[in-house]
Amino acid sequence: MLTGLAMVGVARFLEQRQDFEDATARSYQREIAARNDLVAGRNPRIARQTIKGEALRREVLRDEISAKTRDTALLVGAGLIAGLTGAALLFSGMIASMRRPLEDLVEASERLAGGDLEARVKVGGLSETAQLGAAFNEMAEELQRRAGERDQLERMKDEFVLTASHELRSPLTSVQGFAELLMLEREQLTPKQTETVEIILDNTRHVVRLLNDLLDLARSDAGRLTIAPAPTEVAALVEEAARSLRSRTAARGQTLEAEIEPGLPRVNADRDRIRQVLVNLLTNANEYCQEGATIRVRASRAGAEVEIAVIDNGPGIPSEQLEHIFERFTRGDAGMTQRVGGTGLGLAISKSLVELHGGTIAAESTPGGGSTFSFRLPAATLSETANGAESAAEPPGLVPNPAEAERR
């Protein structure tokens, strides 16, 4: 369109120029004729007038042409400007109609990536962006459908684990309960019968442990492993855990001792869950250590945290196994595993539980030189007021006012 306008302009300019040149040439011819007449002495008056008149005519012609070409130039210029403006408007319109859907797409993609599976775009604009939008919506639809299916499967799995656990527990309750009843009357049993009942009980406890661990892992995977922390006395916690292990360490001739640093602050802990961690660590020490080994539980202050360590002088753990010790189904060497028969889940669960408390867990060991499993929990005084200014002012080692702790 613009080229057309320019060509019309140039053609018109050339035409006007041609007209002007033709008229000027004719004017000169007439003047030359007049001058020849003048030289020849024909009609000298008329000839002089013609010469003067032609000069005047040419001046008029020159004025005319410059005015005309100026008009043409203005016209072409105005046309060009109008054309360019139009083109610019057209382009910006096209860009805008492309840009908005693209911006929407970018925004929707970001929402989708951020987990908002409801994110969709309005399909419209140029056919390419419309296609892109439709494809995006289709993809989002598919993602949402799959996520829905996966959530449903996840729920079914959780439901299954809970139901299976429940259904298994009732018969286990009976098996364990009646075996225990027999053990209460062991004086009426033969040694062989007593041993049989003991085997039943050991295996029942193992299945129960396995069930509990599987349930905890399922909870952990579903993000539903929850804790209810409250200020807790470390000494009582250690004592409870040690008490539940004492008969088993005694059975293997092992020494179990606790060492609690005096004036230890309380920890912010879910009592049952931290007892479970401690029992896990103590059970491992009990099962993996040789008869007559010494197992120590040591609780001490470590900055704003309290460290609880289970230290044994057992066979230790090779470094390549130590690396993966907190992963699921990781246990010591196979021969040992068969003998102790743990679930291989205890340490993985312990790690999840300690981390839920905002704490850390670690293992150190040298083959032949014993193992130390330790975890740290935030002290109740500091962690509870972590956001408050007063925590900084509290001197370290201060035992919290029980009334205050209870109010919290």
Partner 1 sequence: MARILVADDSETILLLIRTRLEMAGHEVETACDGQEAIDAVRRDPSRPPDLLLLDAMMPRKSGIDALRELRADGVEIPALIVSAHKEGADAKGDGDLAIDGFVTKPIDFDVLFERIAELT
Work out the number of other CB atoms within 10 angstroms of the CB of residue 22. Answer: 11
Interface with partner 1 (CB under 8 A), residue total 19
Interacting positions 149-168 with partner 1 (CB under 8 A): 162, 165-166
Using CB under 8 A as the binding rule, whether residue 181 contacts partner 1 is answered as yes
DSSP string over 7-60 = HHHHHHHHHHHHHHHHHHHHHHHHHHHHHHHHHHTSSHHHHHHHHHHHHHHHHH
Distance CA 151, CA 375 (A): 34
DSSP string over 294-329 = EEEEEEEEETTEEEEEEEE-SS---HHHHTTTTSTT
Using CB under 8 A as the binding rule, whether residue 222 contacts partner 1 is answered as no
Q: Which segment (21-29, 170-178, 344-352, 356-364) binds partner 1 by CB under 8 A? A: 170-178
Q: Which of 129, 176, 268, 371 is the binder for partner 1 (CB under 8 A)?
A: 176
Q: Which of 80, 102, 105, 172 is the binder for partner 1 (CB under 8 A)?
A: 172
Least Cα distance to 385 among 359, 408, 403, 360 occurs for 408
Q: Which of 22, 180, 195, 355 is the binder for partner 1 (CB under 8 A)?
A: 180
Q: Which residues contact 17 (CB under 8 A, 6 or more apart)?
A: 65, 69
Work out the number of other CB atoms within 10 angstroms of the CB of residue 310. Answer: 26
Q: Which is nearer to partner 1, 270 or 384 (CB)?
A: 270
Distance CA 292, CA 256 (A): 10
Using CB under 8 A as the binding rule, whether residue 178 contacts partner 1 is answered as yes
Least Cα distance to 375 among 280, 292, 295 occurs for 280
Q: Which is nearer to partner 1, 50 or 176 (CB)?
A: 176
Q: Which of 1, 113, 184, 389 is the binder for partner 1 (CB under 8 A)?
A: 184
Q: Which is nearer to partner 1, 161 or 309 (CB)?
A: 161
Q: Which segment (32-40, 180-188, 286-294, 386-394) binds partner 1 by CB under 8 A? A: 180-188
CB of 344 to partner 1, least distance (A): 21
Using CB under 8 A as the binding rule, whether residue 208 contacts partner 1 is answered as yes
Q: Which is nearer to partner 1, 178 or 329 (CB)?
A: 178
Q: Which is nearer to partner 1, 95 or 222 (CB)?
A: 222
Q: Which is nearer to partner 1, 209 or 296 (CB)?
A: 209
Distance CA 308, CA 293 (A): 19
Least Cα distance to 258 among 277, 274, 245 occurs for 245
Q: Which of 204, 286, 350, 383 is the binder for partner 1 (CB under 8 A)?
A: 204
Least Cα distance to 120 among 102, 95, 138, 145 occurs for 138
Provide the 3-class DSSP secondary structure of residue 145.
Answer: helix
Distance CA 288, CA 131 (A): 64
Q: Which is nearer to partner 1, 112 or 349 (CB)?
A: 349
CB of 168 to partner 1, least distance (A): 8
CB of 174 to partner 1, least distance (A): 5
Q: Which is nearer to partner 1, 170 or 190 (CB)?
A: 170
Q: Which of 170, 190, 247, 338 is the binder for partner 1 (CB under 8 A)?
A: 170
Q: Which segment (82-90, 173-181, 365-373, 385-393) binds partner 1 by CB under 8 A? A: 173-181
CB of 257 to partner 1, least distance (A): 23
Distance CA 384, CA 357 (A): 12
Least Cα distance to 382 among 303, 307, 317, 285 occurs for 303
CB of 234 to partner 1, least distance (A): 22
Q: Which is nearer to partner 1, 215 or 325 (CB)?
A: 215
Distance CA 23, CA 42 (A): 25
Q: Which residues contact 248 (CB under 8 A, 6 or more apart)?
A: 283, 286
Q: Which is nearer to partner 1, 45 or 224 (CB)?
A: 224
CB of 161 to partner 1, least distance (A): 10
Token representation of residue 265: 């602050």
| String marking each residue 59-98 x if it binds partner 1 according to CB under 8 A | ----------------------------------------
Residues at the site binding partner 1, with contacts judged by CB under 8 A: 162, 165-166, 169-170, 172-174, 176-178, 180-181, 184, 204, 208, 215, 219, 224
